[in-house]
Structure 1
Amino acid sequence: MIRKLNGNKLTVALPKGRLFDQTIDIFKKAGIISENISSSSRKLIIESSDFYFLLVRAKDVPTYVENGIADIGVAGDDVLLESNPDVYRPVDLKIGVCNIVVAGLPESKEKYFSNPTSLKVSTKYPKITKDFFGKKGVKVHVIELYGSVELAPLVGLSEYIVDIVETGRTLRENGLVVIDHIRPSSAKLIVNRISYKTRKNKLSPLIENIENFQKNEV
């Protein structure tokens, strides 16, 4: 259906919120769009002169791009590592910068670093968690949570959590500390593989404009 509506326009899958606003800001500064695009309405499809913007959940962006509903999208490393979609990732947009970490109560640090054979971890990133601890040779029991993951160590559901941290404020306000760093995360421009070939005349200039903008920003 979207392909029929699209015509010659590119379709972009974006999460609502800060990442949407930052992406639109980059598109404007890079000369890709000139209109003011806002996600403040309840519309799930926003049309501009050259694009359709699909407003979706952050974790769903790769699904829309991989399946060709959207030509391009913006997703963080945390989402991409967890879902491992078959898409191109040509540009690091250098927004949505954060860290993926292991956190817990201060008193749980000692156990963590005393060569444990198994740990109980709450997270919304089960794949990242299993991969990280698997490389350490540590057996991990993962409890999947999708909201207020910081609560888990406070009530004894698990001793540790794996989550993304930007400033660490939420951890501090709940008496938690960063125990181990897994890796940094930032938002990437992702591209559908078929679109990359069939719509190269539109996608190549877009990617080039973003890259040139970033070079000038340094």
Structure 2
Amino acid sequence: MKNNNENYKLRLAIQKSGRLHDDSMRLLKECGIDISNGVNKLKADATNFPIEVFFLRDDDIPQYVEDGVADIGFVGENVVFEKNKKVEIEEKLGFGKCRLSMAVQRNEVYENAYFLQNKKIATSYPVIVSNFLKTKGIEAEIHEISGSVEIAPGIGLADAICDLVSSGSTLFMNGLKEVEVIFESQAVLIKNNLLNEVQQQLLQRLIFRIQSVKKAKNNKYILLNAPNNKLDEIIGLLPGMKSPTVLPLATEGWSSVHSVLNENDFWNIIEQLKAAGAEGILVVPIEKMII
């Protein structure tokens, strides 16, 4: 049960070690939240935001959030769906991206998911795999393994595996090939349904900061010089947040144009700007982006 002080702060659960831990701590720092957890401490308070951080095993985070031991959590989306706890996904965090994929031995001929009919599948994600098989109308035997899933086909334990994949190098080293992506995952912010009004307001403040950091990472600030007779064409290529900023240069007939470009469109638009007559293009990273 929460004491009075706990009613006026958020308790955040994050992974206690590993890549998601590092990325979670980095995100909090980019959000201006200062946390020093020392060595081997299981919880720590922020010095400049009403939040307390618990450092837990990632598989345990959805349970802690559902039970109200933690108010919110940063955890992989794959863990949320596998554990199937009563929590809500409030925000996708943009890091920890991976995919849960089926893999078979490299000499197998795999045309579609029906290859798995009546086969044995080794995985650490039986719930997600079971749901996938049901949607495909496939019956298969699932062997739940907590680790070293990749060796299962080689020792005759399974015909296929389903595991998290990033580069695919581990599969290759174990004589396997990726054949079917069944779930795309990234780190998400989850919450329980027990937040009071003050905590809900704190959560919205935190999400606002997270969204500002994410927008900054997905965009670049650019400055360029443009001949005035090409301004309309160049401005037409720049979506920006509303409209580009245009300032006259000391050199007659030229202007400086400032704008923001999305990372996904960046190179295509830069090439078009060059072709339209833009010169001296500078690209600057954005630390925060408030819209």
Is the TM value for this pair above 0.5?
yes
Q: How many Å separate the matches in 2 of 1:113 and 1:91?
A: 31
Between 1:100-109 and 1:195-204, the stretch displaced more is 195-204
Query: In the aligned structure 2, how far is the partner of 1:208 from the partner of 1:147?
Result: 37
Is residue 108–residue 159 contact of structure 1 (8 Å, CA) maintained in 2?
A: no
Structure 1 residue 88, shift from structure 2 partner: 2.0
Q: Is the 1:132–1:182 contact (alpha carbons within 8 Å) kept by the matching residues of 2? A: yes
Gaps of 5+ in 1: none
Preserved CA contact (<8 Å) 2:62 2:80: yes
Corresponding position of 2:25: 24
Higher normalized contact order (CA 8 Å, seq sep 6+, divided by chain length): 1
SS at match of 2:8: coil
Higher relative helix content: 1
Instruction: Tell me if the contact between 2:9 and 2:199 (Cα under 8 Å) persists in the aligned partners.
Output: no
Q: Quote the RMSD (CA, aligned, Å).
A: 2.2
Secondary structure of the corresponding residue to residue 154 of structure 1: coil
In the alignment, the residues of structure 1 paired with residue 34 and residue 198 of structure 2 have an alpha-carbon distance, to the nearest angstrom, of 25
Q: Note the C-alpha offset of 1:34.
A: 2.8
Larger radius of gyration: 2
Name 2:42's counterpart in structure 1. Answer: 44
Deviation larger for 66-75 or 192-201: 192-201
Deviations along 1:77-130, whole A, 9 cap, x unmatched? Answer: 211111222222111001110011001211233486665532210111111111
Query: In structure 2, the residue corresponding to 1:202 is in which secondary structure?
Result: helix
Displacement over 4 Å in runs of 4+: 1-5, 111-116
- Unaligned stretches of 5+ residues in structure 2: 219-291
Between the aligned partners of 2:147 and 2:167, the Cα distance in structure 1 is 18
Query: Normalising by structure 1, what TM-score?
Result: 0.89
Give the Cα–Cα distance (whole angstroms) in 1 for the partners of residues 114 and 68 of structure 2. 47
Output the amino acid matched with 1:41.
V
CA distance in 1, matches of 2:143, 2:99: 20
Tell me if the contact between 2:171 and 2:177 (Cα under 8 Å) persists in the aligned partners.
yes
Shift in Å at residue 7 of structure 1? 5.9
Q: 1:85-164 counterparts in 2 under 5 A?
A: 85-110=85-110, 115=115, 117-164=117-164
State the identity as a percent: 33
Aligned to 1:188: 188
